Structure formats: C-alpha cells, structure tokens
A and B are shown apart, each in its own frame.
Chain A
Amino acid sequence: MKNKIKVFRAMHDLTQEDLAKAIGVTRQTILAIEKGKYVPSLDLAIKIARHFNVTIEEIFLYDAVTSTVAID
C-alpha cells in the first residue's frame, strides 16, 4: 500500500509529530506508514484522510503486489 502522507504533510506544513498528535498515534507509526512498513487500519486511514480533508483514495494507493507481501 503506497501513500502520499508525506506530500500532504508538506502541503499542510505539518511535522510527523504534529500529525501523530492530531490523530492520536505515535510519531513512529506515522513514519512506519510513510515508509510503507506498516499498513494502517481502515479506522486510522479514515482519521488521516479526514485530517487532510480528502478521501482515502487520494492518500492511499492500493498496490496488489506490495499488499500481498505486507499481509505475509
């Protein structure tokens, strides 16, 4: 699952810490999501999308190959 969180953070001039505090997770979780190490739950994905006032599809891009690896 690829994502554009980093882009949206830059657009809103937010640090990882700011975003993490706003949605109630750790900064390490934001970093892990940005790097594609962790796929967030639907709940967290919605929180992130709502924070930037966009839809989930605008932030998260489904990639069948990498998503299969992530499930393993």
Chain B
Amino acid sequence: MKKNSFYLIVGCIAIVLVGLFWYSEEIHTPLLIEIAFIAAVAAVYLARRKVVDLIEDERSAKITEKAAMRTLQVFWVVFCAFSIGAVMQILHVPSFPRAAPPIRPSEILPPRSMGYVQLGLLCLMFFLYVGFRMYYARKYGDWEIDEE
C-alpha cells in the first residue's frame, strides 16, 4: 500500500468515527463509540503495517521519543496541579479546631466542570505533542534546505 492510500484510509476512518459519535450520542449508547474507537485505532495500526514507502528510521524514532517525553513532562505537572486542587475541593478535609468557624476553600469550579477541564487538558495534550514534534523535527533537520 502507498503512503497516500494510507492517509486516505485514515481520513475515511476519521469521518466514520465522527458519524458514529453522532449516532451513539443520538441513541445514548456510549459503548458504541468506545468500541468503534478501539476498532478504528487497531485498523489504523494494521493499515500502517501494510505501507511500503513509509520509512521509519532512528532519527524519526528519536523525534517521536523526545516529543512524547517532553509532552508527558509538561502534561503531568499541569494535570496533577489541577487534579490536586480538585480533590482538595471535593474532599472537604476537616480543619483543625480553632476559635473561629472552619474556613471552607472557595469553590472555583463545580465538580462536574472539573471533569470537563481534565478532559480538555487531555485534548490539549495532543496539541502539545504536535507542537513538540514540530520543534524536534525542526531541531533534527526535517525542514532543512536540500543542497543537491
């Protein structure tokens, strides 16, 4: 299979997934899109193995590795910082006895919104990865001008 055919297949799978997401939302069956997503990822991996003109060498592996590592390094700090704040808000840890009435932490976000923010952070992780990947691709000469 050629590289372009692979990209075409990935595009088609993405469109089908969007349709299935819509449909599973209409019939209120989240399991459908969950299974479809896993099946789609498996299909993409299988199709990728059939591509003949896609060379993955040590440089591209290093770019991927570095981008993934930096993404995790940034992501876990932001995610944990937010999650710690969220847990603190939900747990209502009892304060030490004191003369004044216990002070409750001011509620920044309702618990449901916290989940949405965490979901948003997970989505941002993808863009963070793309950004780091572009940075390292440039660093390791992906867009160098050919002198031949």
Contacts and interface: CB of A to CB of B under 8 A. Distances in A.
Name the prevailing secondary structure of the B interface residues: loop
A31 B144 contact: yes
A37 B148 CA distance: 17
Interface majority SS on A: helix, strand, loop or mixed?
loop
Contacts of B55: 24-26
A35 B58 contact: no
Interface string A22-63: 001110110110010110110110000000000000000000
- Measured as residues with beta carbon below 8 angstroms from the partner, the interface class of chain B is 10 to 19
A44 B144 contact: no
A38 B140 contact: yes
Given A37-B139, A38-B140, A28 B59 contact: yes
B58 A28 contact: no
B141 interface: yes
A69 to B, nearest CB: 11
Contacts of B139: 37
Nearest to B140: A38
A16 interface: yes
Interface in B2-26: none
A66 interface: no
A15 B147 CA distance: 11
Contact of A28 (B141, B147, B148): B141
Interface centre among A28, A29, A37, A43 (most CB of B within 10 A): A28
A41 B60 CA distance: 13
B57 A24 contact: yes
Interface string B124-148: 0000000000000001111010111
Interface in B53-112: 55, 57-60, 62
Interface of A: 15-16, 24-26, 28-29, 31-32, 35, 37-38, 40-41, 43-44
Given A38-B141, A40-B58, 16 more contacts: A15-B148, A16-B148, A24-B55, A24-B57, A25-B58, A25-B59, A26-B59, A29-B60, A32-B140, A32-B141, A32-B144, A38-B62, A41-B58, A43-B58, A44-B57, A44-B58
